[in-house]
Structure 1
Amino acid sequence: MTEQTLPAMPTVRDRYAAAYAASGENGISAAIRAVLGAIRRYAWMAVGIVGAAIALALVVTMLDTPRFTATSSVQINDQSDEVLGGEFETQIAPPSDWDIDRFLNTQLDVLRSRALAERVADGLDLANDERFFGAMEVAPQSVPTEEREKRKLAIDLLQDNTAVELRRSTRIALVAFSSTDAEITARIANAFAEEFIQQNLQRRFDSSAYARNFVAEQLEEARASLEQSEAALNDYARQTGLIRTRDAFAPTGPELAAGTVTSSSLLQYNQAAIRAREARIAAQSRWDAVRNAPLLSSQPVLSNPTIQALMTRRAQLESELQVARERYLAGHPATSRLEGDLAAVNGQLTRTANEVRQSIRSEYLAAEAAEKRLEGQVSQARGATLAEQDQSVRYNVLAREADTARSIYDGLLQRYRELNASAGIASSNITIIDRAEVPGDPSSPSLPRNLAIGLLIGLALAGIAIFLRDQLDDVIHTPEDVEEKLGLSLLGVVPRAEGQSPLEALAEPKSPIAEAYNSMRGALLYSTPTGLPKVIVVTSAQAAEGKSTTSFAIAAGLARIGIAPLLIDADLRRPALHKLVGISSERGLTDLLIAQGEPGDVATRVKHGETEFDLLPAGPLPPSPTELLSSPRMAQLLESFSQRYGVVIVDSPPILGLADAPMLAAIADGTIFVVEAERGHSGALKAALRRLRSMEPTILGAALAKFDPSRSGNRYSAYYGYDYYSYTDKEGRGAA
């Protein structure tokens, strides 16, 4: 038979995680609750830190020396006004639209530059002004004696205390200066604006003077080069006998081609020969059209007006002759007269047609003769031009050099005229909008601003302190801490008993503690794939965390639903269950471990409320509890009890410092780890869990005992308000 692997049953932790997810729990809300809980838990520490920061800000404000700030504003345009017109202006080329931000930022850097600070320091003679150093809070003994060092200190103070800002979406720059002297502050702020304009004008003037000198030098060199080129050109033309008709200012195209008389004649003869050839071709075409065609069938003959009139007359006579022949007999005088007129018209028509043909031939012959004469002239002029070309090569080179020199000279001369026209005319692109006035009130220290800064710093420090304190705090405060810090599933949360003992609260089925243990009982019933474990060990890291009460409550709760439990007090050092129920501990577990007696003779039937169950007290305290609990007899007893009872609940000793609990957990079917709220440190708890896990037990989960949701840090726990819907007794007590 093939074995089939059954799917793993979900653990208690998995079921709790699924329940949280189904109820809308998510990481963000859990984180928010954790933050709010930490803030409320350490609220007094946060208030102290914020208060100290505000007090420190107040003290600093009172002790700080008042400082005054004066501000002047200047408008920075990307180009200056055109005084002489755009063609004569020698200003710096303005930036393009897409580069305007870079231009403005460059001007701001100029305002912050050391060169401008030097101009201000020299203009106001601040290096020798003791009042300036006093306004900058420089002690007299700290002022250098050397002039160079004093000037350097003054410049550094100017740069350190000057702020430059560009207003958003404008061209207005604000220049602010701060010191302890209001009058000096305003004077220096205005000096920065004025020196900025003067520096800009000086830079333009220096640039124009340099340009004028440079252009003058280049102009002199260009003039000498032009004279030399023109002289060389004229000498060569005189030596070779070349007569040029070219335009010296347009030496390109037809003007350059017709540079000499010979080449000009060749060009004219060639153009005339082309026109004569066109005329001869047209005349030859007309002659060819009438030469071999019938006399009266060619278009040139028929288009002649005389031919057209004779043909019209002939047609008229033929029509009259046809009418006369129909009316008269042959030989009639009228018929004879018409026939004679018709013959005369035909003869005249033939002669006229021959004359038209002869005139076309004469035109053709004249055109042919003219073409031949012009071709002869072209041939002669071509020969003369070819003979002249060898001499023109050198001339053309010299002519081009002279033309180039003339162009350079003309351009430099025009630029020199423009520079001379604009020299000394300063047009600035910077304008002072508002001059700095002597401030009446100090700009710093500002009490509201310093208090606000102190508040922000205090809040930041408080947040950091709360974060560090929360991270370093390993105390288990809330149920969420059990899962996050210990990594254990939470079986239940038991509130702190107020005004009565836990057993008295358990006796009331509708009390919050009873309801909490009922919830834990439900979790235990489904804590393993097989349901409720047969042997359950209840332990804790330290003593007095509530494990004995939890053991008793679990036993009573299971007995209430019909499961027969056996509660064993296995704390053989400090037993507590017999004190809870008020029974004797003369006989108990110790007797069964030492002797071979019957378990039923030792167990005591206890009653709690309406439920009854068996309790096995610890018995006499042995000298070596660890040896007894780790003996095979203990495992035999638990096996025997698990067969006789529905469940066996073992109240074990604490884990830390003892070996009893880990050994009991190793032989049990499940272990419950009880943690007291506001007491259990995660370091000690984790150490206890490491000792417990060294025996590889089955840990069912953890139970948080003595939880007080009304504490400040617990108000933001997901379990806060779990006891809101408590039951109302007969006297009307409780909350609805």
Structure 2
Amino acid sequence: MNILSSKIGSGMPEAGSDSRNSAESVSPLRDYLRIALRWRWVILGAIVSAVLLSLIITLLMTPKFTATSTIEISRDGDQVTNFQGVQRDVSVADQEFYQTQYGLLRSRSLSERVATELRLVDDPSFFGMFDHDDNGNAFRLTNGRYSAAGRAYRRRMAGEILLRNLSVDPTRLSRLVDIHFTSPSAPFSAKVANAWADNFIKVNLERKVQATSYGRDVLQQQLADYKQKLDDSQRQLVAYASKEQIINLPGTPGENGAAGQERSIVSDDLAALNAALSKATADRIEAEARYRLAGGSGASTEALNNFAINNLRQRRAELAAQYQQMMVQFEPTYPAAVALKSQIDQLDKSISREEARVSQSLESDYQQAKKRERVLQSKVDSLKGSYLDLRRRSIQYNIFQQEVDTNRALYDGLLQRFKEIGVAGGVGVNNISIVDTAQVPDKPSSPRLLLNIAVSLVLGSVLGAALAFGLEQLDETITDPSEVERRLGLPLLGSIPRVEHETPKEALQDRKSDLVEAYLAVQTSLAFTTEHGVPRAIAVTSTRPAEGKSTTALALATTLARGGRKVLLIDGDMRSPSVHQLGGVGHERGLSNFLAGEEDISSLTFEMSDLGIFAMTAGPIPPNAAELLTGSRLSNLLTRLRDTYDHVVIDSPPVMGLADAPLIATRVEGIIYVVESRGIRVNQVKTAISRLEAGNAHIFGGVLTKFDARKVAYGYGYDYGYSYGRSDERAEEA
């Protein structure tokens, strides 16, 4: 109890308040609900106003009709031939192509083309249909018609009007595009939507034809340039070949019919002579081998294979055989033998002559082969020098030849491309087609009453919430008891309900009234503010008048007196006294008399028997009440009163603008600070509390008066105890 009383008595918030504040900060939903319930009429008014405004606007709006045509945009146009177009191909994942098409659908040139085709440029009813207000010369009517001078300006305005009422809606994950047009006329909307799709296809075809024509013109110019370059390079090549006497033979055609690489005559001659030289060398080696092998013995292969020599040798062999047989019988001098021997010798001579002739033939062949080899070698050496000189002279020739080949390749490629463009330009198929034509709508697309009301409900709710939060931020008054602790830093002693249809004194006389129950709760809270229970000397003050401080002082004195205690209520407001009115007496004698020097206290008090308390009026109003309070007379009065009364309650003047309340606060044990619910700004209350704290006043806590629980946050239940069991008791009494 000591700990609790010290915390309350020191003017610090209770320990539980921190947990409540942290819980509220963690869960702002309750604050939002409180704000919504507090400003519910503002929110409801904003919603109702928005709905009514939406309803009025919807009823006053001109019905509009929306017609829709659907087209399909393919990435690549179908082609009869396999030729590639001039424009760059678009890959599957390339969305740039479709975004470009969507932009072309919304282009100004297309809108002006549609306006021209439908003859809207010179149609006054068209501009009147869309309420186009332009007082320029272009829209000046002469005999019901526009002048021709402003046709270009009207075309631009008509295109802008069409664009403002057109919307392009691509279907997701498809190549379909919906073209919507909205106007006050259903047939006109359908006509524009269909004309838009048709003209988009025509523009697309014209753009392709223009691109192909432009490409053909550019290629034709390039063909002429490269033809001239090819001719110049060929003339340069021929002139250099004539000057340097470079003669090349055409190459052998390849398998595909293409001409082979050119070759020079010198290289062909060198190759032929080199082949002949190789053969001559081989023949010389062979002849030399036969010659060396034959030697002078006639035993060469040619001699052995010679028919004449072989016949002579056969004849000699036969004669030699006969001679040998004859030598068996006769002497060598035998005439027949001598004759036979002579024939044999003659055959030997013939054989030797034949063999010598064969040997001479081999030598002759060898010498001829050797001479032929030398001649061919000399010619090959001469051609090698000519070939090297030709190679040197052919370097620049090859450079000119490469230039000719390059120019010819470029020219042939451009010529082929030019032919392809000429063919492809006439066989391409448009890549845009109409899927569904626009039909005349049978019902308007706007205004849509239910949708507008739904939107207005949402906007009204948002506007109402914004107004509620704005008013909440601008409202600096205390609205519920939790704000006493959270915003003022004062312990909450209790909340006092608003009294209606009766005076506070009448409500206090009814012991079962909500007012009595509330002040009993305040008295209970006061019991924990000091170690000895309810303070014996208490002052009740507020920031400004009419906040309920006099009622609070009277109620506290009454509830304390009903607890069997002797209580004195002192009217300390000597500037605007009120206690004498509650007691039904005058204020000719009272507090100001004692402060002025009178000592008889009993003559200054009177009894309020209906409430069971004693009271002291403010007395005659002094010229300056603050001067009377600066002395020690008030302290002496309270000291003497403690001997007679258990509790003294002082109805103090308000704090703002006066010095009375701080002076009284320093003479009592503590202050009960009264705050009017929804009646005083927080900054003013904080300023008043700062004045009291500057004078070392002890504030026990705050009391929230004129509190209406029905206007506060949902779920707090501040009025629960005021009516608990009341209906049951009344039922029993009945």
Q: Please name the residue that 1:104 is paired with.
A: 98
Q: Please name the residue that 1:592 is paired with.
A: 594
Inter-CA distance 262–696: structure 2 relative to 1 (3 Å threshold): farther
Alpha-carbon RMSD across the aligned residues, in angstroms, is: 4.6
Is the counterpart of residue 113 in structure 1 residue 112 in structure 2? no
Is the counterpart of residue 65 in structure 1 residue 62 in structure 2? yes
Q: Give the C-alpha shift of residue 433 in structure 1.
A: 1.1
Q: Secondary structure at the match of 1:440?
A: coil
Aligned counterparts of 1:383 and 1:527: Cα–Cα separation in 2: 133
Q: Please name the residue that 1:404 is paired with.
A: 406
Q: Secondary structure at the match of 1:704?
A: strand
Amino acid at match of 1:92: Q
Q: Please name the residue that 1:288 is paired with.
A: none
Amino acid at match of 1:590: S
Amino acid at match of 2:101: Q
Gapped runs of 5+ residues in structure 2?
A: 1-5, 141-145, 278-375
CA deviations 1:50-106 (Å, max 9, x no partner) are 333333333333333222221111112222113212xx1315323334431x32222
Matched residue count: 617
Query: Of 73, 77, 82, which aligns to 1:80?
Result: 77
CA deviations 1:634-658 (Å, max 9, x no partner) are 2444466679987654221233564
Q: Give the C-alpha shift of residue 32 in structure 1.
A: 3.8
Q: Give the C-alpha shift of residue 718 in structure 1.
A: 2.7
Q: Give the C-alpha shift of residue 430 in structure 1.
A: 1.2
Q: Please name the residue that 2:395 is paired with.
A: 393
Query: Of 170, 173, 184, which aligns to 2:177?
Result: 173
Q: Please name the residue that 2:147 is paired with.
A: 146
Aligned counterparts of 1:729 and 1:445: Cα–Cα separation in 2: 55
Aligned counterparts of 1:230 and 1:733: Cα–Cα separation in 2: 128
Q: Give the C-alpha shift of residue 210 in structure 1.
A: 1.0
Shifted more, 71-80 versus 377-386: the winner is 377-386
Aligned counterparts of 1:508 and 1:563: Cα–Cα separation in 2: 19
Q: Secondary structure at the match of 1:568?
A: strand
Is the counterpart of residue 50 in structure 1 residue 47 in structure 2? yes
Amino acid at match of 1:726: Y
Alignment of 1:546-565 (within 5 A): 546-555=548-557
Q: Please name the residue that 2:23 is paired with.
A: 25
Shifted more, 65-74 versus 151-160: the winner is 151-160
Q: Give the C-alpha shift of residue 688 in structure 1.
A: 4.9
Amino acid at match of 1:180: P
Aligned counterparts of 2:377 and 2:574: Cα–Cα separation in 1: 147
Q: Secondary structure at the match of 1:15?
A: coil
Q: Secondary structure at the match of 2:620?
A: coil
Inter-CA distance 190–224: structure 2 relative to 1 (3 Å threshold): same
Q: Secondary structure at the match of 2:426?
A: coil
Check conservation: 1:728, 1:734, Cα contact below 8 A: no
Q: Give the C-alpha shift of residue 570 in structure 1.
A: 1.6
Inter-CA distance 629–261: structure 2 relative to 1 (3 Å threshold): same
Q: Give the C-alpha shift of residue 435 in structure 1.
A: 0.7
Aligned counterparts of 1:543 and 1:681: Cα–Cα separation in 2: 13
Query: Of 429, 435, 447, which aligns to 1:445?
Result: 447
Aligned counterparts of 1:484 and 1:268: Cα–Cα separation in 2: 119
Q: Give the C-alpha shift of residue 661 in structure 1.
A: 1.9
Shifted more, 426-435 versus 166-175: the winner is 166-175
Amino acid at match of 1:652: S
Inter-CA distance 558–721: structure 2 relative to 1 (3 Å threshold): closer
Gapped runs of 5+ residues in structure 1?
A: 1-7, 274-373
Inter-CA distance 560–459: structure 2 relative to 1 (3 Å threshold): same
Aligned counterparts of 2:659 and 2:559: Cα–Cα separation in 1: 29
Q: Please name the residue that 1:706 is paired with.
A: 706
CA deviations 1:530-587 (Å, max 9, x no partner) are 9976753211234443323423444566678899876533233454456657899776
Q: Please name the residue that 1:132 is paired with.
A: 126
Query: Of 536, 539, 548, which aligns to 2:538?
Result: 536
Amino acid at match of 1:74: I
Inter-CA distance 591–389: structure 2 relative to 1 (3 Å threshold): same
Amino acid at match of 2:393: Q
Aligned counterparts of 2:113 and 2:11: Cα–Cα separation in 1: 77
Larger Rg: 2
Is the counterpart of residue 631 in structure 1 residue 654 in structure 2? no
Aligned counterparts of 2:580 and 2:458: Cα–Cα separation in 1: 59
Q: Give the C-alpha shift of residue 174 in structure 1.
A: 1.6
Check conservation: 2:68, 2:190, Cα contact below 8 A: yes
Q: Give the C-alpha shift of residue 481 in structure 1.
A: 4.4
Check conservation: 2:7, 2:13, Cα contact below 8 A: no
Identity %: 35
Q: Give the C-alpha shift of residue 23 in structure 1.
A: 8.9
Aligned counterparts of 2:535 and 2:399: Cα–Cα separation in 1: 118
Q: Secondary structure at the match of 1:99?
A: coil
Aligned counterparts of 2:213 and 2:407: Cα–Cα separation in 1: 25
Q: Give the C-alpha shift of residue 724 in structure 1.
A: 6.6
Check conservation: 2:568, 2:616, Cα contact below 8 A: no
Inter-CA distance 222–247: structure 2 relative to 1 (3 Å threshold): farther
Alignment of 1:176-215 (within 5 A): 176-215=180-219
Aligned counterparts of 2:111 and 2:728: Cα–Cα separation in 1: 90
Amino acid at match of 2:224: E
Amino acid at match of 1:96: S
Check conservation: 2:514, 2:723, Cα contact below 8 A: no
CA deviations 1:674-728 (Å, max 9, x no partner) are 123344455765665566566564444321123221x3x2252635343277357
Q: Give the C-alpha shift of residue 34 in structure 1.
A: 4.3
Alignment of 1:407-426 (within 5 A): 407-426=409-428
